[in-house]
Amino acid sequence: MQLSHNTILITGGTSGIGLAFAKEFKQRDNTVIICGRREDKLEQIMLQHPGIITHVCDVADEKQREELVEWLVTNYPDVNVLINNAGIQLDTDLTNPCNLDRVRAEIETNLVAPIHLSSLMAPHLRDKNGAAIINISSGLAFAPLAFMPVYCATKAAIHSISLSLRHQLKDTHVKVFEIAPPSVDTELGHDRREDKDQSHGGIPVDEFLAGAIEALQNDVYEAAIGQAQQLREKREELFEMMNK
């Protein structure tokens, strides 16, 4: 994948991995557009990182996704890269009646939104040089943590969707990447923490980013970064260890 002179949309770009991608690609002479739910965070990013373009959008909402793509292709018709990064991570006890609103929110954000956005963008991307769809999955797609079963299932589905989408676009110029992070030090999963400002733990974002950029640069279409590689290769063994 070419890493400069693109026009890139990044979902979930207000923090963590999404914001790290935005800053990295901006430094590499790309036009970078991020979207997120929090208008205050987007305004703060515009002030701190001049040149990053922002747009308010809750990707869990079907209508807002459609409006986002319409706005995007109208105002930035050169857009040629979609990074499906937005995600939420919730714990779910399947041994008792679960809160279906939380389950639906997790599935809509983590799975339905990337499917829908990819399908909306694919006809536009087919005509663009250097086009790419980059799906952010997780090492937990391969060896899940049992206390967050819905999150892990959505990431396993993103792995499967990426395979199918890559096959469907094989006769076009659109490259389809799957980047599977390990545990990365971001705010992901703050819902289950008493201190909402506490981070997730895991490797530094910059360490993950270096591995992801290397994979994109070398056209590694399925890249498990760091410990995510072990989760993919030793899934049964590590599942038992992780869930003791």
Positions marked catalytic: 151
Task: Report helix, strand or coil for 83.
Answer: strand
The string of DSSP codes covering 183-194 is SBSSSTTGGG-S
Q: Where are the alpha helices (DSSP H) in 28-148?
A: 39-48, 62-75, 100-107, 113-125
From residue 73, how far is each of 59, 81, 105 by CA, in Å?
A: 17, 12, 27
From 190, 182, 230, select the one nearest 210 (Cα to Cα).
Answer: 182
Rg of the chain over Cα atoms, rounded to whole angstroms, equals 17
From residue 111, how far is each of 75, 104, 151, 218 by CA, in Å?
A: 26, 10, 9, 26
From residue 210, how far is each of 38, 142, 175, 218, 222 by CA, in Å?
A: 27, 22, 20, 12, 15
Strand order in the sheet with 81-84: 53-56, 31-36, 7-11, 81-84, 132-136, 175-180, 222-224
